[in-house]
Amino acid sequence: MENNFDLIVIGGGPGGYVCAIRAAQLGLKTACIESRGSLGGTCLNIGCIPSKSLLNLSENFYKAKKDFNQQGIEISNIKLNIDKMMSNKDKSVQVLTKGVEFLFKKNKVTYVRGKGVLFSKNDVIVYEKNKKENYKAKNIVIATGSEVSSLPGITINEKNIVSSTGALSLTKVPKKLVVIGGGYIGLEMGSVWSRLGTEVSVIEYLDHITPGMDREVSKEFQKILSKQGIKFNLNSKVVSVKDQGNSVLVKYIDNKTSKEEKIETDKVLVSVGRKPYTEGLNLSKIGIKKDNKGRIEVNEKLQTAVNNIYAIGDVIKGPMLAHKAEEEGIAVAEILAGQSGHVNYQVIPAVVYTSPEVASVGKTEEQLKSENKNYKVGKFPFLANSRAKVNNQTEGFVKILADSNTDKVLGVHIIGPHCGDMIAEMALAMEFGASAEDIARTCHAHPTHTEAIKEAALAVDKRPIHF
């Protein structure tokens, strides 16, 4: 009876562990199986958390070196201790992963260490070292996440040719780093190493960085990163990456001229996306279907083709983001407890944690155009925001897109200081179906960066005060 549960969650990442906690809160006898040896998944162990730790630490170093003197804070002999910086990051990870274990105990979720394999629609076998144990559940949630993708012919060896995982743990600051792929993970990791002194160049197949981002914001973003010293080779197709021992030779073709170019570098970060991870789960035997991108197919209730087995997070369609996985985890737990769990996919914010940050929620201008929607645009630059001005962080702007007829907010895109936090206000506004006028009439504290949001909302109706 001990191994008999109402719910077994396979995978202890933000999707899985949040689902398990919510299910236990709702009275379901719940177990969560995790093979990594620590809870928190990609996000806490090798993703969101260590990357944000390094982004914060490297930004402090960069500011101390470049900005402090001219702000009247005179420090000499600023030195980087990379070992200390890495152990600081590792400590943050450890505290948070242990924190999830504590939450499991507090909520009476059974934490099962090992690799879960589906044996039937109600049976999971867990393999841990040489041991094998059977578990039974009325319902199962698959939350096995994703793994790094590569390109044909490129072998990631986590030495000179690294994935994001390797880039989070380099033991020396490389002189040169080539980042293959101009998405958010590559740009965040590129920023970290660039601030610590590495010459960073990004090679991107498309003619713009951060695919899917509002194009005006993405252009501004590239301009700002270029000013920070990151080089961009857009419209370029990498054809080979060769680890030569002491260096790596990267060859790529310029898509416009068809000319082959090469760069010799110390390290290469392959950052071309992630793919769903379902290895060894036994999905086809159980009758669970995947789409042509390897994602588990689910219906609007997140149910797979087998009706008591659900799937959430990176292993299904939708943006590969921790908070999206969490929302799905909560929705499934509530559905299983007889409530009406639901995820609003129209309002999933996305943030790039560079400096400045980039944040968005809702539709981009390109999406609205392709849907033939009539929309109005309100924009406000941080240059005209008093708080940004006194803090010397004036790059970027807020852009609000609202329906021309109803004034309802359809999308918000911000590049600028602290916008990763500011976007929550816009997500809330959109959840409540706010109009630009609602935001414009909401009192925002002065002096804060959030006043730029109010001004952008006023600008939708062409009446900003400070611009």
Ligand X SMILES: Cc1cc2nc3c(=O)[nH]c(=O)nc-3n(C[C@H](O)[C@H](O)[C@H](O)COP(=O)(O)OP(=O)(O)OC[C@H]3O[C@@H](n4cnc5c(N)ncnc54)[C@H](O)[C@@H]3O)c2cc1C
**Would you name the residues annotated as active-site residues?**
446
Q: Check binding of 277 to ligand X (CB under 6 A).
A: yes
Closest separation in Å from C-beta 352 to ligand X: 8
Provide the pairing of β-strand 274-276 with 4-10: unpaired
Measured from the CB atom, the residue of 10 and 459 that comes closer to ligand X is 10
Q: Where are the alpha helices (DSSP H) in 249-364?
A: 283-286, 322-336
Measured from the CB atom, the residue of 47 and 417 that comes closer to ligand X is 47
Measured from the CB atom, the residue of 47 and 378 that comes closer to ligand X is 47
Closest separation in Å from C-beta 48 to ligand X: 4
Measured from the CB atom, the residue of 10 and 288 that comes closer to ligand X is 10
Dihedral sign, Cα of residue 200, residue 201, residue 207, residue 211: negative
Q: Check binding of 8 to ligand X (CB under 6 A).
A: no
Among 23, 93, 96, 185, binds ligand X (CB under 6 A): 185
Q: Check binding of 314 to ligand X (CB under 6 A).
A: yes
Closest separation in Å from C-beta 72 to ligand X: 33
Residues from 202 through 261 that contact ligand X (CB under 6 A):
none
Q: Check binding of 402 to ligand X (CB under 6 A).
A: no
Q: Check binding of 378 to ligand X (CB under 6 A).
A: no
Q: Check binding of 146 to ligand X (CB under 6 A).
A: yes
Residue in 466, 364, 463 with CA at minimum distance from that of residue 412: 364
Measured from the CB atom, the residue of 348 and 377 that comes closer to ligand X is 348
Q: Check binding of 349 to ligand X (CB under 6 A).
A: no
Residues from 279 through 308 that contact ligand X (CB under 6 A):
280-281
Closest separation in Å from C-beta 370 to ligand X: 25
Contact map string, positions 13 to 32, toward ligand X, x by CB under 6 A? xxxx----------------
Coil vs helix vs strand at 375: strand
AA letter at 406: T
Measured from the CB atom, the residue of 63 and 115 that comes closer to ligand X is 115
Closest separation in Å from C-beta 113 to ligand X: 9
Measured from the CB atom, the residue of 51 and 435 that comes closer to ligand X is 51
At 13, phi and psi to the nearest 5?
-85, -170
User: CB–CB of 410/375 below 8 Å?
Assistant: yes
Among 166, 174, 182, 313, binds ligand X (CB under 6 A): 313
Contact map string, positions 105 to 124, toward ligand X, x by CB under 6 A? ----------xx--------
Measured from the CB atom, the residue of 348 and 383 that comes closer to ligand X is 348
Which one of 12-20, 258-266, 301-309, 360-368 is the stretch in contact with ligand X (CB under 6 A)?
12-20
CA distances from 216 to 146, 156, 213, 222, 327 (A): 30, 33, 9, 10, 29
AA letter at 329: G
State the DSSP H helix or E strand holding residue 411, giving kind and residue range, or none if neither.
Answer: strand 409-416
What does 136-197 look like in DSSP terms, one character per residue?
A: EEEEEEE---EEE---TT----SSSEE-HHHHTS-SS--SEEEEE--SHHHHHHHHHHHHTT
Tell the burial category of 161 from Cβ atoms under 10 Å away from its Cβ (0-12, 13-18, 19+): buried
Closest separation in Å from C-beta 117 to ligand X: 6
Q: Check binding of 41 to ligand X (CB under 6 A).
A: yes
What is the maximum alpha-carbon separation in the chain?
Answer: 69
Cα dihedral 320→234→269→291 (10° resolution): 30
Question: Two tokens at 202?
Answer: 């990004």
Closest separation in Å from C-beta 197 to ligand X: 21
Question: Two tokens at 224?
Answer: 């700002």
Q: Check binding of 325 to ligand X (CB under 6 A).
A: yes
d(CA 267, CA 155): 13
Number of residues forming the site for ligand X (CB under 6 A): 36
Strand partners, 402: 376, 409
Which one of 11-19, 208-216, 237-245, 333-341 is the stretch in contact with ligand X (CB under 6 A)?
11-19
CA distances from 257 to 178, 232, 236, 358 (A): 21, 16, 10, 32
Closest separation in Å from C-beta 115 to ligand X: 4
Contact map string, positions 49 to 68, toward ligand X, x by CB under 6 A? --x-----------------
Measured from the CB atom, the residue of 316 and 460 that comes closer to ligand X is 316
Per-residue burial over 253-266, b if 16 or more Cβ lie within 10 Å, else e, is eeeeeeeeeebebb
User: CB–CB of 243/160 below 8 Å?
Assistant: yes
| Tokens 């609007």 sit on residue | 300
Q: Check binding of 361 to ligand X (CB under 6 A).
A: no
Among 12, 181, 186, 349, binds ligand X (CB under 6 A): 12
Q: Check binding of 48 to ligand X (CB under 6 A).
A: yes
Q: Where are the alpha helices (DSSP H) in 256-349?
A: 283-286, 322-336
Residues engaged in binding ligand X (CB under 6 A): 10-16, 33-36, 41-43, 47-48, 51, 115-116, 143-146, 164, 185, 277, 280-281, 313-314, 320-323, 325, 353
